[in-house]
Amino acid sequence: MAQKTVLIAGASRGIGLEFARQYAIQGWKVYAGVRTPAKATELMRVKGVEVIPLDVTSANSIAGAAWHADEDPLDLLVVCAGLYGPETQGFLAPGNEDFDAVMHTNVLGPMRVIQAFADSLISRRGKIAVISSTMGSISGTTSATGLLYRASKAAVNMVAKCAASEYGPRGLTVVSLHPGWVKTAMGGPNAQIEAYDSVLGMRGVLDRVGPADNGAYLNYDGTPIPW
């Protein structure tokens, strides 16, 4: 069977690093996109991974990374880079700087990354996983905690839906995934699951989904999440 290729945007640590590690062990060709390669020391130690510069807030950087996918068509794109921003309790509007940083990373970044890699994925009838969060579920929201992050994840869910509408008819399957509450820098030490189990679950989901699931919003165990 031909070797499969995945590109992970935001692979320096946390969930993205774990995706890189697990796909490399499975024998995939792994492009691990990170904004500061020199700082991605743990990732550098993972065998079989090609670390490439990719800052999702830079159009030039995305264009540079997309060059790899022209050379080597992708079967899977995982858009994992994310920023939580201010840890607010209650309804507290962010300042301009926080707003720009979080929305740029969590919303504009995925838009640009998906657009840049879509053609490469189409040639393989590939899949796109947008790592979202249940905090982006509008119907599931009962608190204003992390207001800006919630708004960004609701927005990126729409980005995923729009990508599903645009690219589904051309053979791609696009899903929004909630990774669970994961022990990473973002999830913190009290989170419920290890990155290993989160990624193991999401890999299983990504193996199973096909065109009939295009546009779905799924938990890391495959359970549908209400929008």
Query: Which residues of the shown chain bind ligand NDP in the complex (CB under 6 A)?
Result: 10, 12-16, 34-36, 54-57, 80-83, 105, 131, 133, 178-179, 181-182, 184-187, 191
- Say if residues 134 and 178 touch (Cβ distance below 8 Å): yes
Question: Cβ of residue 133: shortest distance to ligand NDP, in angstroms?
Answer: 4
Contacts of 193 (CB under 8 A, 6+ apart): 180, 181, 182, 183, 220
Q: Least distance in Å: CB of 138 to ligand NDP?
A: 16
Closer to ligand NDP by Cβ: residue 74 or 156? 156
Q: How far is the CB of 73 from ligand NDP (least distance, A)?
A: 22
Between 184 and 214, CB nearer to ligand NDP: 184
Q: Give the shortest CB-5-to-ligand NDP separation in angstroms.
A: 19
Choice between 57 and 145, CB closer to ligand NDP: 57
* Residue 27 or 77 having the CB closest to ligand NDP: 77
**Nearest distance, CB of residue 2 and ligand NDP, angstroms:** 28
Buried b (16+ CB within 10 A) or exposed e, 93-108: ebeeeebebbbbbbbb
In the complex, the smallest distance separating the C-beta of residue 131 from ligand NDP, rounded to whole angstroms, is: 4
Nearest residue (CB) to ligand NDP, 126 versus 136: 136
**β-strand 76-79 against 5-9: which pairing, if any?**
parallel
Task: Write out the E strands in the chain.
Answer: 5-9, 29-34, 49-53, 76-79, 127-131, 173-178, 216-219
User: Phi, psi at residue 178, to the nearest 5°?
Assistant: -95, 125
Mention every residue, 6+ apart, whose C-beta is less than 8 A from residue 14: 80, 182, 184, 185, 186, 187, 195
**Rounded-to-integer distance, Cα 6 and Cα 31, Å:** 6
Q: Are 135 and 153 in contact (CB under 8 A)?
A: yes
Closer residue to ligand NDP in complex, CB, 13/203 = 13
